[in-house]
Structure 1
Amino acid sequence: MVDVLTSAVIHRPRADVAAYAADPDNAPEWYVNIRSATWRTPKPLAVGSEVDFAARFLGRDLAYTYRVEEFVPGERLVMATAQGPFPMRTTYTWADDGAGGTLMTLRNAGQPSGFASVAAPFMASTMRRANVKDLARLKGILERRARA
Structure 2
Amino acid sequence: MVSAYAANPDHAPEWYVNIKSAQWQTPKPLEIGSKIAFKAHFLGKELSYVYQITEYIPGERLTMKTADGPFPMETTYTWETTDRNATRMTLRNKGNPAGFSMLFAPFMSLMMKRANSKDLKRIKHILEKQAFNDV
Shorter-chain TM range is over 0.9
Q: Which residue of 1 aligns with 2:95?
A: 110
Moved more, 96-105 or 44-53: 96-105
Q: Which residue of 2 aligns with 1:7?
A: none
Q: Which residue of 1 aligns with 2:68?
A: 83
SS at match of 1:27: helix
SS at match of 2:13: helix
CA offset digits 1:39-83 (Å, max 9, x no partner): 000000000000000000000000000000000000000000011
Unaligned runs of 5+ in 1: 1-15
Q: Distance in 1 between matches of 2:32 and 2:109?
A: 27
Q: Taking structure 1 as the reference length, what is the TM-score of the superposition?
A: 0.87
Query: Hey, which bits of structure 1, 4+ residues long, moved more than 6 A?
Result: none
Question: How well do the aligned residues superpose, as a CA RMSD in angstroms?
Answer: 1.1
The 1:80–1:59 alpha-carbon spacing in structure 2 relative to 1, beyond 3 Å, is same
| 1:100 Cα deviation from its structure 2 partner | 2.1
- 1:21 partnered with 2:10: no
One-letter amino acid of the structure 2 residue matched with residue 104 of structure 1:
M
Unaligned runs of 5+ in 2: none
Q: 1:143 aligns with which of 123, 128, 131?
A: 128
| 1:119 Cα deviation from its structure 2 partner | 1.8
The 1:87–1:118 alpha-carbon spacing in structure 2 relative to 1, beyond 3 Å, is farther
SS at match of 2:109: helix
The 1:46–1:117 alpha-carbon spacing in structure 2 relative to 1, beyond 3 Å, is farther
Q: 1:62 aligns with which of 14, 38, 47?
A: 47
One-letter amino acid of the structure 2 residue matched with residue 93 of structure 1:
T
Residues 3-18 of structure 1: pairs in structure 2 closer than 5 A: 16-18=1-3
CA offset digits 1:81-104 (Å, max 9, x no partner): 011111000000000112520000
